[in-house]
Amino acid sequence: KAGVTQTPRYLIKTRGQQVTLSCSPISGHRSVSWYQQTPGQGLQFLFEYFSETQRNKGNFPGRFSGRQFSNSRSEMNVSTLELGDSALYLCASSLQGRGSGYTFGSGTRLTVV
Amino acid sequence: GIQVEQSPPDLILQEGANSTLRCNFSDSVNNLQWFHQNPWGQLINLFYIPSGTKQNGRLSATTVATERYSLLYISSSQTTDSGVYFCAVDQGAQKLVFGQGTRLTINP
């Protein structure tokens, strides 16, 4: 079956702009979570959605937001981009999000110039 | 919050060698996974192993939950095993906490 699909793979944006990233989970998986990976901070949790509800949120500013649709697809949005937002953004899906393994997508590499 | 420490940070080996990667965590966990990050950035799931031992080909993993550590064994290393290996834990809060990774380099 198809894995976790993230689009786009690469993105270049200018400071001050906003960006929307998309994640389609494995069919049947209702939990979607997002992570940011940077060389300095490593992999950090952004937020997790289950059945269109945000269940947990990491320690990121309000410029980072997300949502989940009824088909479990999720989007994350970053507004007023800063240079420090340049990172690899990874999405993971899980069957239930509790006591289940996570499967990751290929990621979106965002560069802010 | 929970702390996850991986060792060693870097490991350089010759093809054919065996390796052991360690992951220590500071509190009890519901879930522990080992991932291999490929050159394109994707995290490939190796093992879901909150406790016990599992094997998959040349790779095996053991988690001793009562002592809060997990080990990943790679036998007869190949150059394609190169990359960064991450350990990540979940305490039931629907989020993974990652270690800083071990960068493995296998030279031909």
Q: Using one digit for the tens of pLDDT, what is the confidence trace for B4-32?
A: 999 999 999 999 999 999 999 999 998 99
pLDDT digits (tens, 9 = 90+) for B30-59: 899 999 998 889 899 999 999 999 999 999
For residue A25 the two structure tokens come to 């989970």
Structure confidence at residue A100 (pLDDT): 67
If you measure CA to CA, which chain B residue comes closest to A109?
Answer: B41
Contact B94 A104 (CB under 8 A): no
Handedness of CA B25, B1, A54, A75 (dihedral sign): negative
| CB of A41 less than 8 A from some CB of B | no
Structure confidence at residue B53 (pLDDT): 97
Structure confidence at residue A59 (pLDDT): 95
Q: Three-state SS string across B64-95, please?
A: EHHHCEEEEEECCCCHHHCEEEEEEEECCCCC
pLDDT at residue A76 greater than cutoff 70: yes
Structure confidence at residue A48 (pLDDT): 95
Q: What is the arithmetic mean of pLDDT over A19-45?
A: 96
Contact A107 B41 (CB under 8 A): yes
For residue B6 the two structure tokens come to 């991986």
If you measure CA to CA, which chain B residue comes closest to A55?
Answer: B94
Interface test with A, best of B6, B95, B103 (most A CBs within 10 A): B95
Of A48, A51, A2, nearest to A26 (Cα)? A2
Structure confidence at residue A1 (pLDDT): 65
pLDDT at residue A97 greater than cutoff 70: no
Structure confidence at residue A98 (pLDDT): 52
| CB of B41 less than 8 A from some CB of A | yes
Work out the burial of residue A59: count CB atoms within 10 Å of its CB; fewer than 13 is exposed, 13-18 middle, 19 or more buried: exposed
